[in-house]
Structure 1
Amino acid sequence: MAGLIAPLERKYGWSLAERAGEDCPDGMQRLLNSADWDADTVRDDVRDFVVETIGDSNAVLIGDDTGFLKKGIRSAGVQRQYTGTAGRTENCQIGTFLAYASTKGRALIDRELYLPASWTDDRARCRAAGIEDDVPFATKIEHFRAMLQRALDAKVPFAWVTADEAYGQVKTLRFWLEERRVAHVPATKVNDTVITTGGADARVDQLIAALPRQAWKRLGAGPGAHGQRIYDWARVPIRIYRENGFGHWVLARRSVSDPTEIAHYVCYGPADTRLTDLARIAGARWQVEECFQTAKNECGLDHYQVRRYQAWYRHITLSMAALACLTAIRAHELAKGAPDPTAAA
């Protein structure tokens, strides 16, 4: 872990071993491949540490996936598939992650490796990569839901869940969250439909298009690389359940420079939720991208040279632990009133 946060150009077996004063990478490789430790238990420790250092009852849980470009066909889960990391179809692995974001900082607290059906339908290939026969095919949505359930079971303090449209457009996920009274602001596709108060289906873009001009408010959606992210925002109430104090809205984010560029969200939360609150939660989704960027650039998240299923989880978990460490240091310095150590990055 010290090596993962060290200023090394590449953080793989040889470079980490050399920094630790070892003559060969055997020790580092053994740690990831055959040493006796449980990556899921360490994952839980990382999550608990994140909650201890930046936990907040108003925090946001964010789901997203990221790609790890690979060569060859032997690494667990690798195949040609679309990844937003490259913006195209590439030979890669896909990891699904859960991020935790509060006013004190942000970090990754859970992870799953996506195994395409081409892998789970070929058990011999799975065994060669260390994937047990009882590991089933699971979609990224199922991974997201499982990670959220682990956070709920662990009583992680948070107020909202958000994700991009790949997750938000899935009605079964939204219903699953609503069943558990988990407030959420996921993005969705332009032609998604929702059930209105009268029980009829309506397209989200048509509901937003019917709004008067004065319904739009210019609001910040959180800081970005070039300052505050400013957009025009509007919402349409769909259903408000006064008996349990929750409601549904369709939310829209419109570009200031190009009014034809509109993103849509399906929201569920306390009935007294304000437009500014929904805009803030929708804007929080970008923090998972910042987690990926920091984890890859500073903590070696994508520097691994392992092929086996268990080794992937071990490396990723230790990189998440390194990111949590940096997050805690930053939060501690900011609490003392010191300048943001990441501001120049």
Structure 2
Amino acid sequence: MAPSSIPSDSESRFSAYVEALGAALGHSDRIAPARRYCAGLLLPGDRKSIEPMAARVEPGRVQATHQSLHHLIAKADWSDRAVLAAVRSRVLPALEQHGPIQAWIIDDTGFPKKGTQSVGVARQYCGQLGKQDNCQVAVSLSVANDHASLPVAYRLYLPQAWAEDADRRAKAGVPDDLDFATKPQIALEQIRAAQADGIPPGMVLADAGYGVDTAFRDGITALGLTYVVGIQSSTSLWPPGQAPLPVKPWSGRGRPPTRVSRSAEHKPVSARDLAAGLPKEAWRRVTWRQGTHAPLASRFAAVRVRPAHRDYKAATPRPEEWCLIEWPPGEAEPTKFWLSTLPATISRTALVRHAMQRWRIERDYQELKQEIGLGHYEGRGWRGFHHHASLCIASYGFLVAERAAIPPLSRAQRPTHPGT
């Protein structure tokens, strides 16, 4: 199904789908504009901001439709969390027909912006541009299995300069009770909320922007969840079989020692140095999935280590976990590193496949941005930014549910030409 159109045989299901969001929208008179807004997001068109969508969905009543859609998005007081809950109640059962939820994927995405007044805009790293630039950044949580994925939480990151600027906050309608939070703190809050809402659990996947945050990893573990998260090559680790020095015996004077320690001769190493010191036999070729033209494969090592970040302030060493390292053939040095609390008995192949499952979030954002118009909202306010995103996710959720209902091809029906 092409994501930019609604086939005629799906129109009735689309109407029923949006109708089911009615209670979350707060008033029944919001259902009709929500249906128009979601239809505008799904229909063909280069720009998915309010004015061009109004012209596409109601060409004979453009001005009135524009006012209706603008009120729904920028003014109406409805709960984004309630709408996303209604979306997942309709979409997750369709997903789970293809297998249980396996992963909770944390990521953030940037939207290039000009000016300084759009809520949360600042000079910061923008993944879409691959560099620092003026942009907005939002943090999301998606749930995924082998078949598909669905965003279930979405929140704008508010840089500290914004969080401390009362005038700009007031103009943009930032909630009074919203304090500054780092992206890993926002992500952990989304994970806690997902648990509280009873969303089927999965291992947490995230890139190094989150994985390097020790408090983030500890927070996941405290919630009883496992993770596979990226880390930087400079992350300090205790190599296999090593740990910090035990607490020193009490001399009988002063306070008894309570912390582990290290010395000039006994100290952790960086993930990069750990990889460089591994023997040749530690590296194996692993294929994790079929790509567009060929199987996706690379060379990996997986060793049991102890994270060492500030462990000299702890009474006991950190538990062992996996350090997964990718060193593609032909590269001068390793390119990617992960830490994982998946069981010690897991195979290297399974560990790699779980780490690589994070690619699904890239597909989510590709469709949400290129086809649904996630980054096309032109308003400046907090409410409008999140209302637009919620209905983008709702529209994407409809596509996910429709695709999940399509029976898989039998082996005899599958194309055999290259690239399938």
Query: Shared fold by TM > 0.5?
Result: yes
Distance in 2, Cα, partners of 1:322 & 1:49: 12
Q: For 1:284-311, what per-residue CA distance to the aligned partner results, in whole angstroms no more than 9, with x for missing partners?
A: 1121111110111111111111111011
Of 221, 227, 252, the residue aligned with 1:178 is 221
Higher strand share: 1
Question: Aligned-pair distance for 1:223?
Answer: 4.3
| 1:310 corresponding residue in structure 2 | 383
| 1:243 corresponding residue in structure 2 | none
Of 51, 57, 69, the residue aligned with 1:28 is 69
Is 1:205 the counterpart of 2:272? The answer is yes
Structure 2 gaps, min length 5: 1-37, 245-267, 307-318
Q: For 1:207-241, what per-residue CA distance to the aligned partner results, in whole angstroms no more than 9, with x for missing partners?
A: 332322122221123344544321111111136xx
Q: For 1:115-140, what per-residue CA distance to the aligned partner results, in whole angstroms no more than 9, with x for missing partners?
A: 11111111111010011221111110
Is 1:16 the counterpart of 2:49? The answer is no
Q: Secondary structure at 2:376's aligned position in 1?
A: coil
Give the direction of change, closer, same or farther, for the CA distance of 1:321–1:228 in structure 2 (3 Å limit).
farther
- Whichever of the two has the greater Rg, that structure is 2
Distance in 2, Cα, partners of 1:344 & 1:264: 29
Is 1:49 the counterpart of 2:80? The answer is no
Matches of residues 129-144 of structure 1 in structure 2 within 5 Å? 129-144=172-187
| 1:265 corresponding residue in structure 2 | 338
Which amino acid in the other structure matches residue 87 of structure 2? V
Which amino acid in the other structure matches residue 46 of structure 2? E
Q: For 1:123-180, what per-residue CA distance to the aligned partner results, in whole angstroms no more than 9, with x for missing partners?
A: 1110100112211111101111011111222222233111111111111111111222
Is the CA contact (8 Å cut-off) linking 1:252 and 1:264 kept in structure 2? yes
Give the direction of change, closer, same or farther, for the CA distance of 1:6–1:219 in structure 2 (3 Å limit).
same
| 2:357 corresponding residue in structure 1 | 284
Is the CA contact (8 Å cut-off) linking 1:97 and 1:108 kept in structure 2? yes
Q: Secondary structure at 1:312's aligned position in 2?
A: helix
Question: Aligned-pair distance for 1:108?
Answer: 1.6
Is the CA contact (8 Å cut-off) linking 2:81 and 2:153 kept in structure 1? no
| 2:152 corresponding residue in structure 1 | 109
Which amino acid in the other structure matches residue 132 of structure 1? P
TM-score (normalised: structure 1)? 0.90
| 1:160 corresponding residue in structure 2 | 203
Q: Secondary structure at 2:151's aligned position in 1?
A: strand
Q: For 1:28-70, what per-residue CA distance to the aligned partner results, in whole angstroms no more than 9, with x for missing partners?
A: 1111012242212102222333322213435111111111111
Q: Secondary structure at 2:375's aligned position in 1?
A: coil
Is the CA contact (8 Å cut-off) linking 2:117 and 2:380 kept in structure 1? yes
Q: Secondary structure at 1:333's aligned position in 2?
A: coil
Give the direction of change, closer, same or farther, for the CA distance of 1:328–1:17 in structure 2 (3 Å limit).
same
Distance in 1, Cα, partners of 2:233 & 2:287: 22
Give the direction of change, closer, same or farther, for the CA distance of 1:149–1:227 in structure 2 (3 Å limit).
farther
Q: Secondary structure at 1:260's aligned position in 2?
A: coil
Distance in 2, Cα, partners of 1:225 & 1:138: 39
Give the direction of change, closer, same or farther, for the CA distance of 1:71–1:225 in structure 2 (3 Å limit).
farther
Q: Secondary structure at 2:342's aligned position in 1?
A: strand
| 1:319 corresponding residue in structure 2 | 392
Give the direction of change, closer, same or farther, for the CA distance of 1:224–1:110 in structure 2 (3 Å limit).
farther
Give the direction of change, closer, same or farther, for the CA distance of 1:159–1:317 in structure 2 (3 Å limit).
same
Give the direction of change, closer, same or farther, for the CA distance of 1:63–1:35 in structure 2 (3 Å limit).
same
Is 1:216 the counterpart of 2:253? The answer is no
Q: Please identify, of 211-220 and 90-99, the stretch whose mean Cα deviation from structure 2 is larger.
A: 211-220
Is 1:298 the counterpart of 2:339? The answer is no
Distance in 2, Cα, partners of 1:43 & 1:213: 48
Distance in 1, Cα, partners of 2:94 & 2:357: 19
Distance in 2, Cα, partners of 1:294 & 1:339: 24
Q: Secondary structure at 1:270's aligned position in 2?
A: coil
| 2:23 corresponding residue in structure 1 | none
| 1:242 corresponding residue in structure 2 | none
Question: Aligned-pair distance for 1:257?
Answer: 3.6
Is the CA contact (8 Å cut-off) linking 1:57 and 1:158 kept in structure 2? no
Q: Secondary structure at 2:226's aligned position in 1?
A: coil
Distance in 2, Cα, partners of 1:226 & 1:73: 44
Which amino acid in the other structure matches residue 184 of structure 1? Y
Which amino acid in the other structure matches residue 178 of structure 1? T
Distance in 2, Cα, partners of 1:249 & 1:106: 25
Q: Secondary structure at 1:220's aligned position in 2?
A: strand
| 1:89 corresponding residue in structure 2 | 132
Of 161, 164, 172, the residue aligned with 1:121 is 164
Aligned Cα RMSD in Å?
2.3
Distance in 1, Cα, partners of 2:325 & 2:366: 27
| 1:5 corresponding residue in structure 2 | 42
Identity value in percent: 30
Of 50, 63, 68, the residue aligned with 2:106 is 63
